[in-house]
Amino acid sequence: MVFMNMGGPQTVNEVGPFLSRLFADADLIPLGRLQNYLGPLISRRRTPKIQNQYAAIGGGSPIRKWSEYQSAEMCKILDERCPESAPHKPYVAFRYADPLTEEMYQRLLDDGFGTQGRAVAFTQYPQYSCSTTGSSLNELWKWRVRLEGKEPEGGGVRWSVIDRWPVHPGLIEAFAQNIEAQLATYPAEVRKDVVLLFSAHSLPMSVVNRGDTYPAEVAATVHAVMTRLNFSNPYRLCWQSQVGPSAWLGAQTSDTVMAYVRKGHTDLVLIPIAFTSDHIETLFELDQEVIHEAKKGGGTGVKRAESLNGSPTFIKALADVAERHLKSGEICSRQMGIRCQGCKSERCLEQKRFFTNTERDVEEVIR
């Protein structure tokens, strides 16, 4: 069971290599023909600033700790529920930090999965985007070819993919429980008027206009959470973490918070709706920038809902998603089979051909 995510530097000294990989990824930050020039330039210029941010949250990202914990706990549940495919072994594959995809893939081969095992690529981005899950799958396909070849002897690692799960009931319940816990900290007489601000990582508009499904899937998650909460509070969806001068999907989270504070809505709860654990975007950007500035401006009731992290409800949801996938015999979702309207990426095409048009029989692999 391979958990895929962007990752994060564990120490301040790892920030530079992390940013170099991030800005080199045209799936995430498209810079056109100047990618190889602008990517390293931007990463070098941003490294000191980002190092200070990681220092401010304790010296590194907790995303590896949480990913390894979540995957290990999920596998314990799967071993009990799915004895026919047990034992289930947890792996983590990060796109921009250790353990990188190539490290994970080599471990799979060293552990014998190239000749006798099945592997499930389980995205930890619940809402699919070509810039996140798509990029991770492109990288996985690249290392499949480099380490095993396009047609490895014996068939190679037998892959299937959990590529999205934006409205899974367990995921929605985990978000709702954390929101309810934070709402309970407000006095009863104001609780129903607290504004819920769902915040997700933004995308360049060039990616959105290409037909990326991410904005719609994030909105679906938000609507499912509000349905579970019986629409108890006013709410909005906003977007964070824009980089560079190009147009990004808005409204920006920081601008949204300050706009509501100025309008007199001083009780707000921020909900990181597209993240499955804490990292720099929650611990620094939301906690130390957005909320700090809001309080300076009079937003004394601006708070953040807890991230999913070690939530037992969330870990059970992970196991539910994985169990259904293992028992369904599916290689991937139906959505994986169609490309974005404006997609021209040959790498994306090859990756999708592998993950969707394979003739492998997953049920045979399980047996």
Catalytic residues: 168, 320
Sheet with 301-304, strands from edge to edge, namely: 235-240, 195-201, 267-272, 301-304
Residue 28 · residue 136 · CB < 8 Å: no
Residue 163 · residue 137 · CB < 8 Å: yes
Q: How far apart are CA 148 and CA 161, in angstroms?
A: 18
Q: How far apart are CA 171 and CA 186, in angstroms?
A: 24
Q: How far apart are CA 134 and CA 138, in angstroms?
A: 6
Could you tell me the CA-to-CA distances from 11 to 14, 19, 60, 61 in Å, in that order?
5, 13, 5, 8
Tell me the one-letter amino acid at 89: K
For residue 177, what are its two tokens? 């429980």
Cα of 323 vs its chain's centroid, Å:
20
Q: How far apart are CA 95 and CA 102, in angstroms?
A: 9
Other beta carbons less than 10 A from residue 181's beta carbon: 11
Quickly tell me which residue has 């206009």 as its tokens.
Answer: 209
Q: Are β-strands 195-201 and 118-123 bridged in parallel, bridged antiparallel, or unpaired? A: unpaired
3-state secondary structure 274-308: CCCCCCHHHHHHHHHHHHHHHHHCCCCEEEECCCC
Residues near 104 by beta carbon (within 8 Å), at least 6 away in sequence: 2, 91, 92, 93
Q: How far apart are CA 162 and CA 120, in angstroms?
A: 7
Quickly tell me which residue has 């594959």 as its tokens.
Answer: 93
Handedness of CA 151, 154, 156, 161 (dihedral sign): positive
Cα of 80 vs its chain's centroid, Å:
27
Q: State yes or no: cis peptide before 99, omega within 30 of 0.
A: yes
